[in-house]
Amino acid sequence: MKNILCIGAGYVGGPTMAMIASKCPDYKVTVVDINEERIDAWNSDDLPVYEPGLLEVVKAQRDKNLFFSTEVFKGIEEADIIFVCVNTPTKTFGKGAGRAANLQYCEITARQIREHAKRDIIVVEKSTVPVHTSKVIGQILSSGDPKYKFEVVSNPEFLAEGTAIKDLNNPDRVLIGGRPNGTGKAAVDELAKIYAHWVSEERIIKTDGWSSEMSKLTANAFLAQRVSSINSISALCEATGADVENIANAIGADSRIGAKFLKAGPGFGGSCFKKDILNLVYLCESFGLQEVADYWEQVVKMNDYQQNRIVSKIMKSQFNTIAGKKVLILGFAFKADTGDTRESPAINIVKQLADEQAEIVICDPKAISNAKLELIGVENVSYSEDPYDAAKNAHLAVLMTEWQEYKGLDYQKILTSMEAPASIFDTRNVLDHEDLFNLGFNVYPLGKKPLIQ
């Protein structure tokens, strides 16, 4: 039995390794992290990450061939293959602050692997990293004349939160990049062998390490670009009376464009899109490609614009005075089916409304504890598990996250308990606007005409 170690038990490390353990009974999979609380949670029924279907997979494998531990060095000593799944956040200090990736956690991990290895190891770079990182990691691993050989391969992760189990179970592709020599190719094949337990051969793409690293940043940039593109059109729709959903339908029917990722909304959130585009922008600037950098930076600027635009719309609907008015926020997670609030558009929007001295009540089925952390120090914010209770005496409701349960609320009951005139902003276009209007709401969809009583 071969030993797989994963360093980093976060949103990627935990679900990815649970899937590998479930599909590969011939491997022992250990996931380690320096965060003891997280590891304890992985060993309980209250996992640190909410993902539909994840608990079932973890429970089926845990303590059979899936283990969670804080013993990083012991894990390294026993490992044949190590996945590096540590965080690579945007740098907040020094050169490249606000843009470049902070690779300190990757580097620490590489040094620890070099020091504690007890055999030759394949090091799999799963964290999202700038192009050439595999070379740097390779240099760190081979410095100081180590006893063992290390081969670094790039294997970026494409799962989306909320659908992680589905995505891992049936990936569009698995991408593996390595050095184009004998040992590089052998390591790529060794990793491909693991995925081949459940992914068909034609979906396993083998390439060189640098292209693999850059494919990940490029994929996220292209996806985020589509969101910003449709959001830009939503602004034009509101100005002209066209309907952004009709436009998305019409253009999505063109097989060259495709129907996915054309949903206008409050802007992309999540830990990846903004960070990875800014990282791409920084890379372009570092190589003197200013025009290319400016092109991609516009995707992030459009995302900020969309959030600011929603706040302006809310203010205008409230006669530009929201001080002292109660605002019900439905959903704080950056998308449905996750408790993750990193870069959620709701953060920016709530902060701006709080600055205007609105009284804000936030509801979310899974993200309340993370919301509290995001909004530390922000005044006039409270939280509720119960949307009906939270709606009492509110002047307006803003649906921020497309949770299934918010589509089925009793909006008549909510309207009755709100102040008149009651307004509802559906930033995801998931509610029945006609119905809400008929109940008596002023309805503000996104990228289409408002329905005002």
Peptide bond into 421 cis (omega under 30): yes
Take residue 38 and report the two structure tokens written for it: 């997280």
Under rule CB under 6 A, residue 431 binds ligand UDX: no
Question: Per CB under 6 A, does 87 bind ligand NAD?
Answer: yes
Nearest to 375 by CA among 397, 346, 401, 396: 346
Question: Does residue 335 interact with ligand UDX by CB under 6 A?
Answer: yes
Cα(79)–Cα(257) distance, integer angstroms: 44
The answer to whether 391 and 423 have CB atoms below 8 angstroms apart is no
Per CB under 6 A, contacts with ligand NAD among 223-282 are 271-272
Instruction: Indicate which of ligand UDX, ligand NAD, none lies near residue 33 (CB less than 5 to 8 Å, by partner kind).
Output: ligand NAD
Looking at beta carbons only, is 84 or 121 nearer to ligand UDX?
A: 84
DSSP letter for 332, please: -
Tell me if residue 262 falls in helix, strand or coil. coil
Tell me the site size for ligand UDX, rule CB under 6 A: 19
- 268's contact among ligand UDX, ligand NAD, none, with CB below 5 to 8 A by partner kind, is ligand UDX
Q: Based on the residue annotation, tell me whether 272 is a catalytic residue of this protein.
A: yes
The token duo for 7 is: 């360093």
Place of tokens 């921020």: 400
290 vs 369, beta carbon nearer ligand NAD:
369
Q: Which of 176, 100, 111 is nearest to 139 (CA)?
A: 111
Binding mask 105-124 for ligand NAD (x = CB under 6 A): x--xx---------------
For the bound state, the minimum distance from the C-beta of residue 382 to ligand UDX, rounded and expressed in Å, comes to 24
Task: Produce one character per residue of 209-225: b if its CB has 16 or more CB atoms within 10 Å, e if not.
Answer: bbebbbbbbebbbebbb
Residues 6 or more apart from 350 whose CB is under 8 A from it? 329, 332, 360, 362, 375, 378, 381
| The one segment of 70-78, 97-105, 158-166, 311-319 that binds ligand UDX by CB under 6 A | 158-166
Site residues for ligand UDX, window 192-231 (CB under 6 A)?
Answer: 220, 223, 227
Which of 159, 284, 330, 367 touches ligand UDX by CB under 6 A? 159
* Identified binder of ligand UDX from the candidate list 157, 190, 297, 356, rule CB under 6 A: 157
Buried b (16+ CB within 10 A) or exposed e, 259-289: eebbbbbbbbbbbbbbbbbbbbbbbbbeeee
Distance CA(321)–CA(36), nearest Å, equals 46
- Per-residue interface string for the shown chain with ligand NAD, residues 135-174, x marking contact by CB under 6 A: ----------------------x-x-x-------------
Name residues contacting ligand NAD, limited to 56-75 (CB under 6 A): 72
* Residue numbers at the binding site for ligand NAD (CB under 6 A): 7-13, 32-35, 38, 72, 85-88, 105, 108-109, 127-128, 157, 159, 161, 271-272
Q: Which residues bind ligand UDX (CB under 6 A)?
A: 157-161, 220, 223, 227, 261-263, 265, 268-270, 272-273, 334-335
The residues that are catalytic are 272
